[in-house]
Amino acid sequence: MFDVEKVRRDFPILGVRVYDKPLVYLDSGATAQKPECVIETVDRLHRESNANIHRGVHFLSEEATEMYEAARARIAEYIGAEAREEVVFTAGATASLNTVAYAWCERFLRAGDNIVVSEMEHHSNIVPWQLVAERKGAEIRVLPFDEEGRLMTVHGGVDVKALDCDFYAFSGHKLYAPTGIGVLYGKRDLLDRMPPFLSGGDMVDRVSFEKTTFAPVPLKFEAGTANFVGAIALGEAVRYVRQFDAAEVEAHERALLLRATEGLEGIGGLRIYGTAPGKCAILSFNVEGVHPYDMGMILDKLGIAVRTGQHCAEPVMTHYGVTGMCRASFAMYNTLAEADALVAGVERAVKMLK
């Protein structure tokens, strides 16, 4: 059986009180909280192993480099990459997408090609493709998204070899790791053929005024002083997640979703957006006559943290004809009691606002 109380003890922030009420954190879809082992890893690296990677022969530099590359290998195994060189560390999924949009498109995109993105795409991610298309004169088509095609990075459900995808990207902060770190997976032959996106230290081989040659992948795409602390902490987050049975975690989150859904469906005027079977543990909803910001502010006063607004998804909001929604997103550290607290909080807010 999945022991959620044991899991909760790993996350110090869950003991925080908000307005003198226990924190009910239901915004993990925006950023997940961090377990003690990840927090300790960041602290220990700054205290004991802080040195620039790949650029020194002294002990601290070599130690940090070894841990950085070990994290790369761990993440490569986690997502099923053929080799660790196919894992590029970035600042997050957005940085990964921009790298592909500019580096891959610079080499392979031709005028007249189609770029197919989804109405459910993160709306900031549409921007680099638009800019590339404008520069190349290509066409953009926006197509519906099939939720059955979703991938579960957090639950260890990604196998890039089985998917046979050319690229895959994710952010560490949604995988219980720090912010400012992410991963771009790319097939080795494509990464080898792509030009670098950013220039700077560590991505060069030889430099002269006549000619510059670049380092091999993945370093070619990791310009500047790397966020080695974030990368190593991401590796630790992956180690933490892998100690749990992925099916048990997913079943626990599905139970949370079912409990909250059943409760919210009994509230008059409330509409849940996204009801496909097998959906991940996220509930987006509105109540007729209630602004989502007002709902979110009242829930906050009750200690319940939810997301309000467009959720970086303006195109799909436009599709539904709304300007904003409330969103509760569950993680493995949430409890059935917290799902009940959400329902009770929404009921209270509706009585106050209608």
Of 75, 42, 4, which Cα lies nearest the Cα of 335?
4
For residue 79, with 0-12 CB atoms within 10 Å meaning exposed, 13-18 middle and 19 or more buried, which class applies? buried
Residue 345 in tokens: 């909080």
- Residue 238 CA to residue 231 CA, distance in Å, equals 11
Q: 3-state SS of 11-70?
A: CHHHHCEECCEECEECECCCCCCCCHHHHHHHHHHHHHCCCCCCCCCCHHHHHHHHHHHH
Strand partners, 287: 270, 290
What SS3 class is residue 252?
Answer: helix
Residue 18 in tokens: 């908000």
Catalytic, 312? Answer: yes
- Which of the following is catalytic: 105, 280, 312, 326? 312
- Residue 147 CA to residue 278 CA, distance in Å, equals 9
Q: What is the DSSP string of 144-155?
A: ---GGG---TTT
Residue 129 in tokens: 């493709």
Q: In which residue are the tokens 């200690």 written? A: 303
Active site residues: 312
